[in-house]
Structure 1
């Protein structure tokens, strides 16, 4: 009977089923894409962690494999170099290649092979002399664009490299533990999609709830039990939800390849990494239809209470003040760690920050109706037009219904504001050196136990590079934990100078203090070491000043890497080490922008469904207003104001609370002050809200068609 009732209501019933099925399909597809995206990120992190394996993992019978990973850079992009050396025939083979390369041999990833072919030899390829054995397979790469090279060497040579270790197994799936910040960003982004999707599905299943309540109330009056009504309503909603869920799986599979090609996190995914686990499939396949059925059952609560409950409708009780409590409690938890002790572990930090954010999110949902009611009452007191007064009185009469339509927008804006605020602040504090600055033109390398001196051949090679302006050799300070030493005559003017009478000075490793910048007015502190004694100290750092051109930096980098491969830190420009992290965060920022657009689009669809449903349920009151003399234009203003006023009001509050939460997090976690998002962030929000307003406007022509005089008669 439930199935027959679902399709026996004519065009209106079929339209309702199609709308619900499409809404559920979009929601289910996005849920599947979200789950698959989380799984793909975990795969990327796990493969990255496998490049830094635990030497205690695996068996102990195999001949060990020497393994050392170093970071290299080219034009700000990170290149990972793994030096390997087998100690016997039974040594494990690195993942992704058919055999362990020997001395003078290497394997390169597809992206690196393309880069090597397109770049001048002395800028990159000269760093990896030897025979190219082939391509590294996908199993060893974090992404299709990964720059990875596996270079063979002798056990003696590789064993001397920094971070060298012996492995007896390379096939272990080492679990990756993401950084706290990345965990936070990923969590809020996932929530930014999940919550609007769930709200969208719930809104769609409540479509024409009032009309269905009347029908089910009539069935109760002729003898149907509450249980029978619940079963019929659940079957009707679940039928459309099942069809929509199946369509959602089809949409996910059809667009999975396109999703993998988009660098949401800064790197593209392999299509196979966008996979679904059995729990993911069961959650969507069973949870979405069950949720739709539950939403239908909840919407009929008044019918279950009494078959006359539909006709005895009264004004709902106004929201109480205690709905505001979770908001200050959540903000107080985030603010507590500005003065209280911070947990030392990443898991501990996540355990205190995520509940605070979830509490603020919950507070927004609970306080939304109260804020909507307060805004409606203020609007009613200041209104001078009929449309404004009617809309304000209706919102004040039932603020929960008015806020329900925009709750998805509220959460989307809050979540993405938090993510954007955190990302923007971290990128601003940990990004690369500004283009055109002296910092960006300075190349340096660093060693714990460097060579006794830098040969004349190396110095001549560096000076011969077009664009190289200076080469300074910094030596180890005999006083432990003190900065390196350099002869005052070797300090270029752009990096500062020595005090009067000083011959040797203590300077930063690259003339640029940590998180500072090069300063020509800086006076470096004098050292008590003589120039003659300075020449006997081991080299700690070589600093090369350039004109900032990419060619000069990369040619000088290549010379230093070939001359001193054992240096603890590869030649780098200030910010190279941070560039990979900053690029990753920019990828998260891109994902946050996508989340804003997708979340607002989904919330806009929920709003459209809610507006259409509200128009359908109020066709008789609107018809009576038209018969009383109200024009269609006035009624359209009423509908637009009912949706637009709470949406714009709560949007401002959600963005403000999101940025405040981001400030509390970055201040407590890293000591940073929030860097305001750029104009593009606000442009995306304005564009999204404008699209929501356009969606509302697109439903208004329906008003004239459904409010004719024939609708005013009593049914």
Structure 2
């Protein structure tokens, strides 16, 4: 207690005073400042114990602040990515045809994928001497070379990128700058190709890069998910920050009792405690800023929800940053003053250290979740009229109700536990009955996270079906489909050549047919598909088929009629062809794409002449044993045929990409929140052990087994967690039911999800207990009995 022995600190009593004039009021303010300064001195110069407690508080607050800063930076990160993506946009389809000029550029989209990651590629050729350049590019790549993103350069240089190297249209000659990339892990390349010409399939001419990004509103269900995710992930973090400001509360109370012993009154002790809390929170803010700036340097290494960001993108908005800077010290001060109201600090000790006969009031704790229900109830049944701010308030109040009701439930149940059971159980129960408040505060964050996660599990289970699309594709009939319009840059000009070139390793069979159009009049035309009997059977039910046969699917009036091949508006017009009078009628079936087939099916022996640039479609079968590499080899073979050849992998079901991104973001955020909550439990457990080190050492000296004390620590952590999870399950199910009603989805309890959440929480308890054992063994040494 060296800080309170200083003769320079004046301790004054408080009490009733006569009305003061200005000088008296100024004197009171100076005295208050002195008392708050004493709290600051106690926090910073209270010896090794005081410094350690202040450091623990600062680190705890700092970790929470760093997570909050990262969370409020998410909109800025997404805006920065969106701005860079819009600045490089080169899609000009549907616009007026541009004449060639000194600055115009021909471009061909070469978007592909590699092992599930998108690769953005462009083939370019300049029309003039001063072509427009995409952001991040200083000069056009030379013929046969390409400019790549740093991530793509590293991938191509690694052994993992061997298959992708075979697909690339040139050698690496440089890298693309940050301005031309959405994020540091994006795979992008620009390559020059001299034989590009306007009019070739998918080739377009541009004279500028960039577009105005358009933000489409989220589906109300997805918006609900985003809102609940943010509340669920940030509330435990905020609770962790609030709990961190009260680390070492028992040491603080004993120190304040010593201050009372030398003459301070109750009001002064509260101001001293407030000074300690504010300086600790302020140091925590500084530590959080340091953690945030240090962690921002590593953000480019990670990729969340298929998104990567630059460290410079992680910038909290100034208004939210200012709010956080003010809110953390104010919250620390408020938490301390509220805690001090329940503590009677006397010169000879602290009353809270004994069992209190007073009971926590229930009525106001119930009002908080009821207010949340009141906010959410008007939103039910209004699918499409979702108010996010009202939902934020309702969800926050319901989750806050978990934290508020948990102490009341804890007091009622733990207070009634008897003295039976093992020694470790009795020690744990008695410790929780005497001072279980710190344990409940630490567990409150887990309970809130669990309640929110249970509600989210219910939402995601309901959204799974709503955002899972049945494509109608049949992967049992073909695993991939390729589409190609022949052009001068195509190496295979007919179906046989395409079949042969696509038979890469892992491809078991390829069936190709030609697609054409037959014009009956200026506004009437039908599709014509030319292929062998095997591929035609994928489009119609054919009882018999031989080369030379023709089948009419839905236009029997065309039998024996003369049509003109090709687009009726094309110049020159295509040749005439007469549908044979011997053509058969056939029943159409859906193709492997899941699309309805109509028109005319023709075998090669009766086929009309092909257009100059025909279109071919291929059904490809892949060897399941080859895995994902078979898909990559197929894409490589397609690239060798033509850069414009499209390859699609068939899927019977696909999930909405936005929904999947939100889900992956939840998993990433949950991992961070769980880590923080686990750290909160660990720090709180170690702090309690340190405060009881002499008691622990004395118990060991009197023959208590170390394993008994270890089990006692486990019960002390597990019992509040179990009570918290029971309460969280009830309120989580209620919150989930309210949210499902908001989006007009029937109630369904995800039992498996609830079991997983509870199992994870139990695992956190076991990990925390295991991690605290080394500190427990160290504190039970005989030198822990030494006291000065």
Q: What is the TM-score of this pair, normalised by structure 1?
A: 0.70
Deviation at 1:357, TM superposition (A): 4.1
Q: CA distance change for structure 1 residues 21 and 480 in 2, over 3 Å: closer, same or farther?
A: farther
Aligned twin of 2:113:
73
Match of 2:479 among 442, 451, 470: 442
Partner of 2:272: 232
Change (3 A) 1:613 1:130: closer
Query: Are 1:16 and 2:53 matched, yes or no?
Result: yes
Partner residue, 1:408: 445
Matched residues in 2 for 1:430 and 1:480: separation? 37
Q: Secondary structure at the match of 1:318?
A: coil
Cα deviation code 1:620-670 (max 9, x no counterpart) = 9x99999xx999999987775454212123235546866886798799599
Q: Any gaps of 5 or more consecutive residues in structure 2?
A: 1-37, 546-550, 552-585
Quote the Cα distance in structure 1 between the aligned partners of 2:160 and 2:351. Answer: 81
Cα 1:687–1:209 shift into 2, 3 Å: closer
Please state if 1:367 is matched with 2:401. Answer: no
| Deviations 1:62-91, CA, capped at 9 Å, x for gaps | 977777756322333321234556677776
5 Å matches for 1:182-581? 194-209=234-249, 212-213=252-253, 216=256, 228-266=268-306, 268-275=308-315, 278-279=318-319, 282=322, 285-301=325-341, 315-320=357-362, 323=365, 340-343=381-384, 348=386, 354=392, 357-373=395-411, 375-376=413-414, 380=417, 403-415=440-452, 438=475, 442-445=479-482, 455-456=494-495, 458-462=497-501, 464-466=503-505, 467-473=507-513, 475=515, 489-491=533-535, 498=541, 500=543, 504=586, 506-508=588-590, 511-513=592-594, 529=600, 531=602, 541-548=617-624, 549=626, 550=628, 552-560=630-638, 570-574=647-651
1:334-369 residue CA offsets vs partner (Å, 9 max, x unmatched): 8998x834217xxx4756765554344233223323
**Equivalent position of 1:27 in the other structure:** 64
The whole-number CA distance in structure 1 between the counterparts of 2:509 and 2:313 is 47
Distance 2:443 2:51 in 1: 26
- Aligned mates of 2:452, 2:248 — CA distance in 1: 30
| Correspondence 1:599 to 2:636 | no
**Alpha-carbon deviation of 1:94?**
1.0
How many Å apart are 1:261 and its aligned residue? 1.8
- Whole-Å Cα distance in 1 between the matches of residues 616 and 86 of structure 2? 29
How far the C-alpha of 1:92 sits from its partner, in A, is 4.3
Q: Secondary structure at the match of 1:406?
A: helix
Give 1:648's aligned residue. 722
For residues 527 and 363 of structure 2, the distance between their equivalents in structure 1, rounded to whole angstroms, comes to: 60
Instruction: Work out whether residues 28 and 248 of structure 1, in 8 Å CA contact, stay in contact via their aligned partners in 2.
Output: yes
SS at 1:18 equivalent: helix
Query: 1:481 and 1:315 mapped to 2: Cα distance?
Result: 90
Indicate conservation of the 8 Å contact 1:454/1:539, yes or no: no
SS, match of residue 417 in structure 2: helix
Q: Say whether residues 1:687 and 2:744 are aligned partners.
A: no
Summarize deviations over 1:36-61 as a string: whole Å, max 9, x none: 566545544544455557989xxx9x
* CA contact 1:25–1:248 (8 Å) conserved in 2: yes
Q: Secondary structure at the match of 1:150?
A: strand
Contact preservation (8 Å) 1:24, 1:248: yes
1:585 Cα deviation from its structure 2 partner: 6.3
Mapped to 2, the partners of 1:211 and 1:140 lie a distance apart of 56
**Distance in 2 between the 1:335 and 1:20 partners?**
39
Distance of aligned partners of 1:150 and 1:353 in 2 relative to their CA distance in 1, 3 Å threshold: farther
- Structure 1, 676-685 or 584-593: larger mean CA deviation: 676-685
1: CA distance between counterparts of 2:751 and 2:204? 39
Q: Which residue of 2 aligns with 1:108?
A: 148
Offset at residue 469 of structure 1 (A): 0.7
Gaps of 5+ in 1: 515-524
More displaced 10-residue stretch of structure 1: 220-229 or 437-446: 220-229
Q: Which has the higher helix share?
A: 1
Taking only aligned residues, the RMSD between alpha carbons, in angstroms, comes to: 6.2
Asked if the contact 1:372–1:396 (Cα under 8 Å) also holds between the matched residues in 2, the reply is no
Question: Secondary structure of 2:136's partner?
Answer: coil
Moved more, 455-464 or 581-590: 581-590
- Cα offset, 1:443, TM superposition: 1.4
Q: Distance in 2 between matches of 1:220 and 1:640?
A: 36
Tell me what 1:518 maps to: none
Distance apart, 1:118 and its partner CA: 6.5
Quick one: structure 1 residues 697 and 334, their matched pair in 2 at CA, closer, same or farther if it must change by over 3 Å? farther
Q: Is the 8 A contact 1:458 1:563 kept in 2?
A: no
| Structure 1 residues 576 and 228, CA gap change in structure 2 (3 angstroms) | same
**Structure 1 residues 259 and 302, CA, compared in 2 at 3 Å: closer, same or farther?**
same
Tell me the distance in 2 between the aligned counterparts of 1:333 and 1:392.
38
Which structure's CA Rg is the greater one? 2
Shift of the 179–563 alpha-carbon distance from structure 1 to 2, 3 Å rule, reads farther
Q: Which residue matches 1:520? A: none
Q: Please, what TM-score do these two structures have when normalized by structure 2? A: 0.65
Q: Structure 1 residues 221, 430: closer, same or farther in 2, change over 3 A?
A: same
Aligned partners of 1:199 and 1:657: how far apart in 2? Answer: 18
Residue 679 of structure 1 and its aligned partner are, at CA, apart by: 10
Aligned residues: 681
Contact 2:39–2:271, Cα closer than 8 Å, also in 1: yes
